[in-house]
């Protein structure tokens, strides 16, 4: 390709009408652009008008991703200046729909794909990635995309979207990010039969082939980029815990659904417990869903009990887990995974078969939904719970919005406006009885950008529990006492840069404290972070 078209056609170098007269001469662009030279602000104003002109969110998603593929600087400038408007498009909930329709709406490839057919060749394939350095990889096998199930290769939208938040939220350099899909097949018949489906067309491979495939990918990635951080995303429950166990002490990696969600909900709980003023030991926490997120959240909350000096055995008695078969107990007769076993109740002789039975029995202070089942916090459940506590904590965390256990409006109206509510996907403010309630978004997007940045910049050996808990506490500290009493438990999304920066700084401090950081300690950690951070501009 000749030089002028290359610079115009490469998203990282293209400025479109932003090339000034000098540059147009220098790069041989004269005549290839309309005469007017524009700055980023002017271009962004036009792009925003275009964004708003579309009839559906999916079209807005496609528009933004096409923009990213034309002019990366403009895309990140636009996104960074319109986060609250655009987050629900590039991320949950719209990204969920974009994944479901990935094959139909495909326009150009982003990131890298490693499939079963690539066995033995992944390391060599990585040399095809056009950018030399990679700081962060988000990898999924598409087996449990949000609460939508097994989407196979269609899941690529998730690593792409997460990395856009790494850039907008924490200031990762976009050219040093890599979204990856490991294609190990799909068990979703609809996609196997869909002529536009773009993945390998076979059922998921057995574990004996699956684990070596993932292992080859990780070995290749850390061989090529020894200081990279790998974020596991949306792996199904049958694999995610083992993968994390196998690799968290071997590579710099974490699982966002277990640890990122764990941290963000720990943060929400810290503030919700401040608001309801019930001592920790008297909390009765009922979880609906015992998958990666449910277990991850509970494990993180356990750290609060440990800090408060409450013995583990006593702390576990504050948790009740409900899955599709009812309350998880040691006596209900099925084989429990080790993760479920840790929270299984041994003090129930009678079987409670549903959430409502558990709520009647337990009288919870909090119900935490990570079930992936939309509407599973029924009016009966929420009203029953609200009878027994002054400020019920209702977290409807499943994504996307259609999978939320209840809506914000339902939660506020069924509790007469008394609840502390958070959801995983955004809900608009709710008017109820003359009050405006602003629902919190308990989504791991508050955690992973800063946790990732901190881990990468100090060249951490591993991501430790302490680093994750530090991230959660830092997030919690962004909400003032005066806000907490009004039921606000998360800071505004528009502060995500400031929050991620602070999380990164505190995570790095913790990594040095724990002997996890391998970078010689810099004079100023804040300066280290700020010097790295990418800000979209044509003057770079």
Ligand X SMILES: O=C([O-])CC(=O)C(=O)O
Residues 6+ apart with CB under 8 A from 67: 47, 74, 75, 78
- Tell me the angle at which helices 465-476 and 261-276 cross, rounded to the nearest 10 degrees: 40
Residue placing its CB nearer to Mg ion in the complex, 141 or 257: 257
- Nearest distance in Å: CB 282, Mg ion: 32
Does 244 engage in binding with ligand X (CB under 6 A)? no
Question: Is 510 designated active site?
Answer: no
- Nearest distance in Å: CB 268, ligand X: 14
How many Å apart are CA 57 and CA 156, to the nearest integer? 18
Integer-rounded Cα radius of gyration of the chain:
24
Is 257 annotated as a binding-site member?
yes
Among 177, 443, 455, 501, binds ligand X (CB under 6 A): 443
How many Å apart are CA 348 and CA 331, to the nearest integer? 8
Count the site residues for Mg ion by CB under 5 A.
Answer: 2
- Nearest distance in Å: CB 98, Mg ion: 15
How many Å apart are CA 110 and CA 176, to the nearest integer? 13
Does 424 engage in binding with ligand X (CB under 6 A)? yes
Over the window 202 to 241, marking each residue x when it contacts Mg ion by CB under 5 A and - when it does not, the resulting string is --------------------------------x-------
Q: DSSP label at 336?
A: P
Residue placing its CB nearer to ligand X in the complex, 18 or 491: 491
Does 257 engage in binding with ligand X (CB under 6 A)? yes
The one of Mg ion, ligand X, none whose footprint includes residue 443, by CB under 5 to 8 A per kind, is ligand X
Count the site residues for ligand X by CB under 6 A.
Answer: 9
Pull the structure tokens for residue 123.
Answer: 């390391």
Does 234 engage in binding with ligand X (CB under 6 A)? yes
Question: How many Cα neighbours within 13 Å face the side chain of 59?
Answer: 7
**Which is catalytic among the residues 15, 162, 488, 502?**
162
How many Å apart are CA 272 and CA 439, to the nearest integer? 13
Measure CA 113 to chain center: 20
Query: In this structure, are residues 124 and 104 in contact, taking their beta carbons and an 8 Å threshold?
Result: no
Site for ligand X in 139-178 (CB under 6 A): 146
Q: What are phi and psi of 319, to 5 degrees?
A: -115, 135
Residue 486's closest CA among 518, 438, 450? 438
Residue count of the chain, please give it.
540
Residue placing its CB nearer to ligand X in the complex, 400 or 536: 400
Cβ neighbours around 116 below 10 Å, total: 16
Is 443 annotated as a binding-site member?
yes
Is 144 annotated as a binding-site member?
yes
Among 259, 399, 407, 506, binds ligand X (CB under 6 A): 399
Question: Pairing relation of β-strands 177-183 and 112-115?
Answer: parallel
Does 441 engage in binding with ligand X (CB under 6 A)? no
- Nearest distance in Å: CB 233, Mg ion: 5
Question: Is 391 designated active site?
Answer: no
Query: In this structure, are residues 94 and 123 in contact, taking their beta carbons and an 8 Å threshold?
Result: no
Residue placing its CB nearer to ligand X in the complex, 365 or 423: 423
**Which is catalytic among the residues 61, 76, 91, 251?**
91
Over the window 247 to 286, marking each residue x when it contacts Mg ion by CB under 5 A and - when it does not, the resulting string is ----------x-----------------------------
Cβ neighbours around 462 below 10 Å, total: 17
Residue 44's closest CA among 390, 536, 475? 536
Binding region? 144, 233-234, 257, 399, 443
Binding site for Mg ion (CB under 5 A): 234, 257
Q: Report, as residue numbers or ranges, the catalytic residues.
A: 91, 162
Binding site for ligand X (CB under 6 A): 92, 146, 234, 256-257, 399, 424, 443-444
Binding region for a divalent metal cation? 233-234, 257
Binding region for (S)-malate? 144, 399, 443
């Amino acid at each position: 390709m000749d030089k002028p078209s290359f610079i115009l056609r490469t998203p990282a170098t293209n400025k479109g009408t932003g090339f000034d007269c000098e540059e147009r001469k220098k790069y041989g662009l004269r005549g290839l652009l309309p005469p007017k030279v524009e700055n980023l602000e002017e271009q962004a104003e036009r792009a925003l008008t275009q964004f708003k002109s579309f009839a559906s969110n999916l079209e807005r998603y496609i528009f933004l991703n096409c923009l990213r593929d034309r002019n990366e600087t403009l895309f990140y400038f636009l996104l960074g200046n319109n986060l609250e408007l655009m987050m629900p498009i590039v991320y949950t909930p719209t990204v969920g729909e974009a994944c479901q329709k990935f094959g139909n709406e495909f326009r150009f490839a982003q990131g890298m794909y490693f499939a079963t057919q690539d066995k033995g060749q992944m390391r060599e394939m990585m040399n095809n990635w056009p950018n030399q350095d990679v700081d962060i990889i988000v990898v999924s096998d598409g087996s449990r995309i949000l609460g939508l199930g097994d989407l196979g290769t269609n899941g690529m939208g998730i690593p792409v979207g997460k990395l856009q938040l790494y850039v907008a939220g924490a200031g990762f350099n976009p050219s040093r990010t890599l979204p990856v899909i490991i294609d190990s097949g799909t068990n979703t018949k609809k996609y196997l039969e869909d002529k536009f489906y773009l993945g390998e067309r076979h059922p998921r491979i057995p574990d004996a082939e699956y684990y070596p495939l993932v292992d080859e990918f990780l070995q290749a990635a850390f061989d090529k980029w020894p200081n990279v951080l790998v974020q596991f995303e949306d792996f199904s429950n049958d694999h995610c815990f083992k993968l994390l166990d196998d690799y968290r002490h071997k590579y710099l990696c974490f699982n966002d659904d277990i640890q990122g969600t764990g941290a963000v909900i720990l943060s929400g709980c810290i503030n919700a417990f401040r608001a309801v003023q019930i001592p920790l030991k008297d909390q009765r926490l009922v979880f609906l869903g015992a998958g990666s997120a449910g277990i991850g959240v509970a494990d993180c909350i356990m750290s609060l009990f440990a800090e408060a000096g409450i013995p583990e055995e006593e702390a576990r008695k504050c948790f009740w887990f409900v899955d599709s078969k009812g309350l998880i107990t040691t006596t209900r007769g099925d084989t429990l995974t080790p993760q479920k076993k840790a929270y299984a109740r041994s003090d129930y002789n009678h079987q409670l078969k549903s959430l409502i039975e558990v709520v009647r029995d337990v009288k919870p202070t909090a119900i935490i939904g990570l079930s992936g089942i939309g509407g599973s916090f029924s009016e009966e459940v929420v009203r029953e719970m609200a009878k027994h506590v002054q400020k019920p904590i209702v977290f409807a965390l499943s994504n996307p919005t259609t999978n939320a256990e209840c809506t914000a409006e339902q939660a506020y109206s069924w509790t007469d406006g008394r609840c502390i509510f958070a959801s995983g996907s955004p809900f608009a403010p709710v008017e109820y009885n003359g009050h405006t309630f602003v629902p919190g978004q308990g989504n791991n997007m508050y955690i992973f950008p800063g946790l990732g940045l901190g881990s990468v910049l100090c060249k951490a050996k591993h991501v430790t529990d302490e680093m994750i808990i530090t991230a959660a506490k830092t997030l919690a500290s962004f909400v003032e006492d005066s806000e907490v009493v009004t039921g606000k438990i998360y800071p505004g999304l528009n502060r995500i840069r400031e929050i991620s920066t602070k999380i990164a700084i505190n995570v790095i401090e913790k990594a040095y404290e724990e002997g996890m950081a391998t970078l010689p300690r810099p004079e100023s950690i804040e300066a280290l972070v700020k010097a790295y951070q990418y800000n979209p501009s044509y003057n770079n």
